Structures are given as C-alpha cells and as structure tokens.
Amino acid sequence: MRNIPIKNKEVIELLDEVKKYYDDREEIQKYIVTNGNVDGGDWYTGDEYRDQIIKLDGKHDGYPETQHAISLKSSHMHRRTPHTKEGNVVVAKYHERYSNLNTKLCSLFSTRNCALFTMYPPGGFISWHNNANASAYNLIFSWSETGDGYFKYVDGKTGEDVVMQDVQGWQCKAGYFGSYDEPWDKRVYHAAKTNCWRITVSFMFDRTDMSMSLHEDIIEEIMSDY
C-alpha cells in the first residue's frame, strides 16, 4: 500500500461533499444502525486475532468478521427501529445522497461502483481480513477528525505489520488485494481502528492489465494539481 497525495481540485471538492456526513453525525446515529460492539476493537485489530485469521489461510472467506461502524452504502444501510415517518424521511435522504455521490465519484474515478462507504465513530474499527474474495486494484480514501487512528496491514514479503497513521483530514492509499490463487505475498491482511470520527470510501478495479493501467492513470490524476 502507498500513500497518494490528493491535489486534484475536483477530487477535493467531491471529498468535501463526503465529509458532510460528519456534520450530520448526530442525526445519522439517531436513525441509522451502528454495526458491531465497540468493546471488541482491541481484540479484532490485535496480533492474536490477526494470527488466527492468517492461520486459516484459504478457509478465511476474505470478509471482515466484524466492525464497529455505520455503513452509508444504500445496500448496507440499516435504519433503526421502530420505523417512524420522520425516520423514513431522514433515511431516504441519506439513500439519495449516497446515490448521487456514488454516481459522481464512480464517474470521476472511472470505476463501476464504490466498494466501501463507511463512517466510524470514536472507538470504531474493522477486523483483520484480506479481501481475497474480491481481489482487485484499489483506492482507499479516509477522512479523520483528528488523525487519532490508523490502517495497518501485513507486508506479504516480510510478514511484518505496517501501520499507516491517519492524518487530520483526507488521505488516499492505493494498492492491490491479491487472491488465494496468487502467491502468498500478494495477499493484504489489513485492519483499521480509530479513536475519533473517521470516514472511509474505497473503490476497486478488477485484476486485468487494462485496470492496472487505469488504476495508475487515476492515481496520476489524483496527484495532479489542476
């Protein structure tokens, strides 16, 4: 994984639209389900659980087992019950917002769909996993309230953890998630945790040579100051 400086003005403007979810965090918490239990964060992002997932090898399905986060993708967004007229209106607003943002972002990055659109409250996390079930080139945009959080992954060549500390505001990471039919060092076991509000939006390209080239072209655009 590598850090990508965000300089493109159009990218910055769209990410500023995404950041508005943070401004609406109290309303979102009131009407949309926060998944998972905050108490499990240290275990599910810790060394012992990481080793258990790695030991499973191909028996691990690639998905994270758990997370403490609010999914803002329409397909994964769950409203709180009981349903009320007011709540239905609010949730419909966030479905529409996601649809509009997804269209704009996918068009900008020339990708078919957004892979992840999640907001983490303080104490939020996503457990160790490797996305081997959805192998692809990827772009991961994360916004952090104070920078008190991190993304970490296992370097496939050294076996060592690499911690990519959050920064206040937006940052972008790019890389490739390997599959189980590739050499072990192509797999990217990773997890994330935060002690402040955090938003993550990610996009995946497929594994073709054309997508690898497109992935690099999009990275160049993100880093271009125009």
Tally of domains in the chain: 1
pLDDT given at position 85: 85
For the full predicted model, state whether its pTM sits above 0.85.
Answer: yes
- The per-residue pLDDT of the chain, averaged, comes to 93
Reported as a single tens digit per residue, the pLDDT across 16-27 is: 999 999 999 999
User: Picking from 61-75, 157-171, 211-225, which range would have the lowest pLDDT averaged per residue?
Assistant: 211-225
The full 3-state SS of the chain, as one line of letters, equals CEEECCCCHHHHHHHHHHHHHHHCHHHHHHHECCECCHHHHHHHCCHHHHHHHHHHHHHCCCCCCCEEEEECCCCCCCECCCCCHHHHHHHHHHHHHHHHHHHHHHHHHCCCCEEEEEEECCCCEEEEECCHHHCEEEEEEEEECCCCEEEEEECCCCCCEEEEECCCEEEEEEEEECCCCCCHHHCCCEEEEECCCEEEEEEECCCCHHHHHHHHHHHHHHHCCC
Average pLDDT of span 76-105: 90
Reported as a single tens digit per residue, the pLDDT across 40-70 is: 999 999 999 999 999 999 999 999 999 999 9
